[in-house]
Amino acid sequence: MTNFIAVISGKGGVGKTTTVINLGCALTQFGRDVLLLDANLQTPHLALYLGSPKLPHSLNDVIKGRKHVRDAAFLHPSGIKVVPASLSIDHMKSTKMGNMADILTDLAGTTEIVLLDTAPGFGDEFRLVLTAARKAIVVTNPELPAVADAVKAVQLAEEYGATVLGVVINRVDNTPSELSAKNIQMMINKPILMSIPEDSNVQVALSIQQPLVHSHPESPAAIAFKHLAAALTGQVYKPSLSEEHEQKQASPSSQAAFFSSLLNRLRGDQSAGAQVIQGKAH
Ligand SMILES: Nc1ncnc2c1ncn2[C@@H]1O[C@H](COP(=O)(O)OP(=O)(O)OP(=O)(O)O)[C@@H](O)[C@H]1O
Ligand SMILES: [Mg+2]
């Protein structure tokens, strides 16, 4: 069975692509078969973030019927499979996302988990992707505009028939002005899957076009992405002692969110995370 999960936000720039890449990399490291699909045709970033701007095939070829989706995937050196969207402006203008459901049907059974990177906003693309994927994770930052748009994203995703697995709070810096995980959970009314700390290594990984989880596995955000992968698959991830040390120094709140999510599960909220990705359990 293939799990299709769209990573959504409403507001732009909150960390969807970063989450898709690093959650995908962490799941791959945990032995899952993962494919990343760039369902952001206007402003695609997966190929840029992963250093593959000159790929011969893209999702645009698949949408136009020129290529089977299986043959449009490339294997990144970190082990993740990726179907990028074209960076060309001509391809962007000439590609309309209409047959996403058919494309996902073609992928069904070929891989275990498909993470779909999505565009900000709530246009036609959003509707088509959410209708096809049927599962979503919402990414937000701990600030009001991002959370307000996340609330809308959740409501629309559900209207389009998708189940929202939970919330990733990204770029948590523990400053007094930030919204707390508790308040964010109250506003969005979905379980907090993980808090990812603000981490300058994210930009370093971007500059060398590697997933952070691959290039900086002991960095605070990488550890949090691994916790997220573990929470979604219901498996246990125990950071090494050096990883724990890094995390304690940099991110007390990711632990807090982890335990608050755990608490929800203990209270019996089935949607709160215990293996929300179905299939092989480790
Ligand atoms: N935890 C983090 N710590 C530091 N910087 C981060 C973190 N997460 C993301 N960033 C940075 O924030 C910027 C936006 O991230 P990203 O491109 O993943 O957002 P997005 O939601 O995909 O954006 P868009 O809506 O434009 O597609 C990037 O420069 C990225 O390196
Ligand atoms: Mg993006």
**Could you tell me if residue 278 is inside a domain?**
no
Average pLDDT of the chain, as a whole number: 87
User: Does the structure show a pLDDT above 60 at 30?
Assistant: yes
Within 8 A by CB and 6+ apart from 59, the residues are: 37, 38, 39, 41, 69, 72, 83, 84, 85, 86, 103
C-beta of residue 44 within 8 angstroms of C-beta of residue 125: no
**Could you tell me if residue 135 is inside a domain?**
yes
Q: Dihedral sign, CA of 149, 24, 99, 94?
A: positive
| Nearest Cα to Cα of residue 60 among 99, 21, 114 | 99
**Could you tell me if residue 249 is inside a domain?**
yes
Domain with residue 216: its CATH number is 3.40.50.300
Fill in the DSSP letter of residue 59. H
**Could you tell me if residue 279 is inside a domain?**
no
Within 8 A by CB and 6+ apart from 209, the residues are: 48, 49, 50, 51, 52
Number of domains in the chain: 1
Within 8 A by CB and 6+ apart from 258, the residues are: 194, 195, 227, 231
**Could you tell me if residue 277 is inside a domain?**
no
More confident residue, 279 or 104: 104
Query: pTM of the full predicted structure?
Result: 0.88
pLDDT of residue 279: 54
Residues with CB under 6 A from ligand 1: 9, 12-18, 43, 45, 120, 170-171, 196, 198-199, 202-203, 206, 221
Q: Whose Cα sits closest to atom 13 in ligand 1?
A: 13
278 three-class SS: coil
CA 50 to CA 131: how far, in whole Å?
A: 27
pLDDT, tens only, 117-168: 999 999 999 999 999 999 999 999 999 999 999 999 999 999 999 999 999 9
Most confident by average pLDDT, 82-96, 224-238, 258-272: 224-238
**Could you tell me if residue 265 is inside a domain?**
yes
**Could you tell me if residue 9 is inside a domain?**
yes
pLDDT of residue 121: 96
Angle ∠(147,153,154) on CA atoms, nearest 5: 90
Domain span including residue 29: 3-272
Q: Whose Cα sits closest to atom 8 in ligand 1?
A: 15
pLDDT of residue 131: 96
Within 8 A by CB and 6+ apart from 282, the residues are: 30, 31, 233, 235
